[in-house]
């Protein structure tokens, strides 16, 4: 049974996890279930990365990466946002504290909407919305995640090779988890959802159950 929203308390849902774990799919489904707005925060980092890439900027320069943050717009339908090159750039520039700081307010404002919101990313439960009543950490084996990402890229008409995508996923997992600022980790109070052996419908059903459980406990 879905949560009665009539008490007007905001419902903030933080969904974090590594690349292609299914966190975006789950976050969108939770947003639809609870009637909340959704933000894919990875797209912000990808938009900065795409800006930098198009200018011929250097991802190893924090200064240039920060410049790419100014007035960054996100066109979620731009296929280049999901290219492998942009994924690599996004992972590199997201390690810079100044880049993360530049994108912080936009995310916290979104999370602070009166009815609440669902956000997915790497640091939602740890940094952006640490007091969120619902926190999920979505994961799956690297091999399964790579297969999903390959299928997704091919379906979008983009080239993809399993070995390259798997290498990229390992490299991004390592970089995202080992950086000093806002590393990828399961937040305090977050429930683990391993989707390795679950299909999309099963993952969504489990996520809704876990969210309802956390909301009931928060009452
Ligand atoms: N449980 C699942 N089983 C199979 N495929 C999935 C599952 N969850 C997501 N996918 C597919 O895998 C791809 C990556 O999912 P997505 O939700 O975008 O992951 P993330 O946001 O973690 O990168 C998408 O094509 C999505 O449809
Ligand atoms: N909240 C977030 C979201 C993304 N990111 C970074 O942005 C990159 C792209 O994020 P994404 O969520 O679009 O990537 P996928 O998980 O969909 O592959 C990640 O590899 C992270 O390095 C981050 O640091 N913090």
Is 38 part of any domain?
A: yes
Residue 107, Cβ density class (10 Å: 0-12 exposed, 13-18 middle, ≥19 buried): buried
Q: Which atom of ligand 1 is nearest to the CA of 138?
A: 22
Residue whose CA is at the smallest distance from ligand 2 atom 13: 42
Is 164 part of any domain?
A: yes
Q: Judge whether 81 and 94 are in contact, CB under 8 Å.
A: no
Is 6 part of any domain?
A: no
Is 71 part of any domain?
A: yes
Is 4 part of any domain?
A: no
Q: Which token pair is 80?
A: 């280049």
Predicted confidence at residue 1, as pLDDT, reads 45
The residue range of the domain holding 48 is 11-218
Q: Which token pair is 179?
A: 């950086």
Among 76, 148, 107, residue whose Cα is nearest residue 14: 107
Substitution candidate for ligand 2 out of 94, 135, 170 with most atoms within 8 A of CB: 94
Is 39 part of any domain?
A: yes
Q: Judge whether 51 and 68 are in contact, CB under 8 Å.
A: yes
Question: What gap in Å lies between CA 15 and CA 30, rounded to an integer?
Answer: 10
Q: Tally the domains of the chain.
A: 1
Ligand index nearest the alpha carbon of residue 170? 2
pLDDT tens sequence for the chain (219 residues): 444 444 678 999 999 999 999 999 999 999 999 999 999 999 999 999 999 999 999 999 999 999 999 978 899 999 899 888 898 899 999 999 999 999 999 999 999 999 999 999 999 999 999 999 999 999 999 999 999 999 999 998 888 999 999 999 999 999 999 999 999 999 999 999 999 999 999 999 999 999 999 999 988
Residue whose CA is at the smallest distance from ligand 2 atom 11: 42
Predicted confidence at residue 72, as pLDDT, reads 84
């Amino acid at each position: 049974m879905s949560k009665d929203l009539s008490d007007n308390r905001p419902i903030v849902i933080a969904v974090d996890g590594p690349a292609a774990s299914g966190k975006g799919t789950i976050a969108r489904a939770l947003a639809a279930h609870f009637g909340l707005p959704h933000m894919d925060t990875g797209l912000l980092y990808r938009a900065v990365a795409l800006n930098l890439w198009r200018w011929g900027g250097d991802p190893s320069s924090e200064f240039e990466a920060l410049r790419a943050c100014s007035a960054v717009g996100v066109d979620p339908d731009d296929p280049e946002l999901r290219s492998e090159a942009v994924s690599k750039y996004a992972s590199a520039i997201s390690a810079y504290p100044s880049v993360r700081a530049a994108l912080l307010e936009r995310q916290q404002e979104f999370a602070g909407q009166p009815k609440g919101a669902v956000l997915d990313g790497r640091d939602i439960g740890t940094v952006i919305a640490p007091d969120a009543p619902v926190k999920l950490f979505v994961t799956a084996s690297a091999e399964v995640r790579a297969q999903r990402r390959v299928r997704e890229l091919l379906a979008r008409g983009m080239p993809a090779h399993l070995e390259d995508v798997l290498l990229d996923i390992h490299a991004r997992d390592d970089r995202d988890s080992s950086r000093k600022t806002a590393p990828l980790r399961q937040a305090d109070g977050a429930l683990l959802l391993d989707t390795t052996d679950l299909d999309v419908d099963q993952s969504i059903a489990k996520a809704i159950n876990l969210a309802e459980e956390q909301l009931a406990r928060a009452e």
